C-alpha cells in the first residue's frame, strides 16, 4: 500500500505551469513517492518516464501509479543522466519535466536510512544504497580541515570548525557509526545560548547528506540538459529546498534565458512558495521554492 503521509509540495502550482497534454511525453526526474507523477497522469500526460536513484522510491512510486502502469516507465537512474536515458529510448525531445530536488520525506522518515537524527541508526545517508560511500565512512576518513570546510559550505554552519574538531577527537577514541552518536557530538560542540529554533545538528546533517549524495555536483549541467531536450513551448519545473540548490537553479535558468543564445524564458521572476495553509498541512513545504521556465519555440 502507498503511504498517504508522503505529500508532494506545490503540486497545484507545478501542474499549472506544466499543463500536460494527452499527446505529451513527460519526465519526473526525481519521482520519490510518486505524488507529482500521479498529478501529471491525472492532468493528462500520455507517457511518463519516472527517474530516481533510490530503488525503494521507484518501488513505492510503482504502487502509487499502478493505474497507469501501461503508460509509465520507471528508470533506476540519476536525473543527471537524463540525456542518456532519453537517447536509449529514442526520444529527441520531451514535452515537460519536473525535478523535486533534495531528500524526500520517504527517505527522511524511512527507518535504517540514516538521514535523520530523530532515531539512532546506522549513519548511511545514501539515496542509492546500491552504490557510493556511506556517511560513516566519509566521517571516518576525511581530514579535519576538509570536514570543517564541507560542513560550512553545504550546511552554512558557522560552528563548522568546532564541530569538525569534536568529530575528529571522538573518532580517535571510537568510530562514529550512528546518527545518535553524531548528533550528540554536534550538540556538545556548539555553545548553548538561550532558545534554539532548530536542533543544533540540523545544518551538519544537511551538509553531510549533500556531500554523501553529491546533490549539488552537476546540477547546473543537468538543468541545462533538461532545457535542451524540451520541445518548443514545453516547460520545466524545479522545486528546491535550501538556498544552495535554489541559487544554482536561479542562476542556471537565467543564463539559459539571456541574450541571443537564449533557449528558454523564465516564467517565475521570483520563486513560488507554499501558501500558509499548505505549510500548516505539510511542514516539508515550508522551505520549498518553485521555479519554472519554457522552451523558446
Mean pLDDT to the nearest integer, 80-88: 96
47-52 β-sheet, strand order: 72-76, 47-52, 25-28, 94-100, 230-240, 289-295, 264-266
Do 200 and 125 lie in a common domain?
Answer: yes
Mean pLDDT to the nearest integer, 169-197: 90
**Which of 213, 248, 279 marks a domain boundary?**
213
Q: What is the pTM of this model?
A: 0.90
194: pLDDT confidence band, cut at 50, 70 and 90? low
Q: What is the pLDDT of residues 233-249, one digit of tens each?
A: 999 999 999 999 999 99
Element (H, E) at 233: strand 230-240
Mean pLDDT to the nearest integer, 56-81: 96
Q: Is the pLDDT of residue 195 over 70?
A: no
User: Using CA atoms, how far apart are residues 56 and 44, in angstroms rounded to an integer?
Assistant: 26
Q: What is the pLDDT of residues 200-234, one digit of tens each?
A: 999 999 999 999 999 999 999 999 999 999 999 99
Mean pLDDT to the nearest integer, 74-94: 96
* Domain assignment present for 85: yes
105: pLDDT confidence band, cut at 50, 70 and 90? low
Do 142 and 192 lie in a common domain?
Answer: yes
Do 180 and 249 lie in a common domain?
Answer: no
Strand partners, 48: 26, 72
User: Using CA atoms, how far apart are residues 213 and 230, in angstroms rounded to an integer?
Assistant: 26
- Half-sphere exposure at residue 25, Cβ-oriented, CA atoms within 13 angstroms: 12
Do 133 and 204 lie in a common domain?
Answer: yes
Give the range of the structural domain holding residue 50, as residue numbers without chain letter: 11-102+217-295
Q: What is the mean pLDDT of the chain?
A: 92
Look at residue 1 in the predicted model and tell me its pLDDT. Answer: 37
Structural contact between residues 121 and 142, judged by C-beta atoms closer than 8 angstroms: no
Mean pLDDT to the nearest integer, 185-201: 84
Q: What is the CATH number of the domain that holds 128?
A: 1.10.150.170
Q: What is the pLDDT of residues 110-149, one digit of tens each?
A: 677 888 898 899 999 999 888 889 999 999 999 999 999 9
User: Using CA atoms, how far apart are residues 169 and 185, in angstroms rounded to an integer?
Assistant: 10
Do 209 and 122 lie in a common domain?
Answer: yes
Q: Is the pLDDT of residue 34 over 50?
A: yes
* Domain assignment present for 160: yes
Structural contact between residues 239 and 14, judged by C-beta atoms closer than 8 angstroms: yes
Number of domains in the chain: 2
C-alpha distances (whole Å) from 61 to each of 27, 98, 126 are: 14, 15, 19
Structural contact between residues 122 and 177, judged by C-beta atoms closer than 8 angstroms: yes
C-alpha distances (whole Å) from 223 to each of 31, 97, 229, 232, 293 are: 16, 10, 10, 16, 11
Amino acid at each position: 500500500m502507498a503511504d498517504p503521509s508522503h505529500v508532494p509540495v506545490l503540486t497545484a502550482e507545478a501542474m499549472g505551469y506544466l499543463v500536460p497534454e494527452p499527446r505529451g511525453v513527460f519526465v519526473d526526474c526525481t519521482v520519490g513517492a510518486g505524488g507529482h507523477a500521479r498529478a501529471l497522469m491525472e492532468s493528462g500526460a500520455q507517457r511518463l518516464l519516472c527517474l530516481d536513484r533510490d530503488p525503494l522510491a521507484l518501488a513505492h512510486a510503482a504502487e502509487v501509479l499502478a493505474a497507469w502502469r501501461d503508460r509509465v516507465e520507471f528508470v533506476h537512474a540519476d536525473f543527471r543522466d537524463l540525456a542518456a536515458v532519453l537517447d536509449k529510448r529514442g526520444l529527441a525531445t520531451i514535452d515537460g519535466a519536473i525535478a523535486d530536488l533534495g531528500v524526500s520525506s520517504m527517505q527522511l522518515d524511512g527507518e535504517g536510512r540514516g538521514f535523520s537524527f530523530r532515531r539512532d541508526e546506522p549513519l548511511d545517508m545514501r539515496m542509492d544504497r546500491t552504490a557510493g560511500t556511506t556517511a560513516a565512512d566519509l566521517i571516518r576518513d576525511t581530514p579535519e580541515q576538509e570536514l570543517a570546510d564541507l560542513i560550512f559550505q553545504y550546511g552554512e554552519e558557522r560552528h563548522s570548525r568546532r564541530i569538525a574538531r569534536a568529530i575528529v577527537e571522538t573518532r580517535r577514541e571510537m568510530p562514529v557509526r550512528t546518527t545518535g552518536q553524531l548528533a550528540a557530538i554536534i550538540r556538545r560542540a556548539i555553545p548553548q545560548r538561550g532558545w534554539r529554533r532548530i536542533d543544533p545538528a540540523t545544518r551538519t546533517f544537511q551538509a553531510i547528506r549533500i556531500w554523501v549524495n553529491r546533490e549539488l555536483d552537476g546540477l547546473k549541467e543537468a538543468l541545462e540538459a533538461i532545457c535542451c531536450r524540451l520541445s518548443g513551448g514545453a516547460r520545466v519545473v524545479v522545486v528546491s529546498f535550501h538556498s544552495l540548490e535554489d541559487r544554482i537553479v536561479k542562476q542556471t535558468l537565467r543564463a539559459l534565458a539571456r541574450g541571443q543564445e537564449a533557449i528558454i524564458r523564465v516564467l517565475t521572476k521570483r520563486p513560488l512558495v507554499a501558501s500558509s495553509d499548505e505549510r500548516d498541512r505539510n511542514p516539508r513545504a515550508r522551505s520549498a521554492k518553485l521555479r519554472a521556465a519554457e522552451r523558446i519555440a
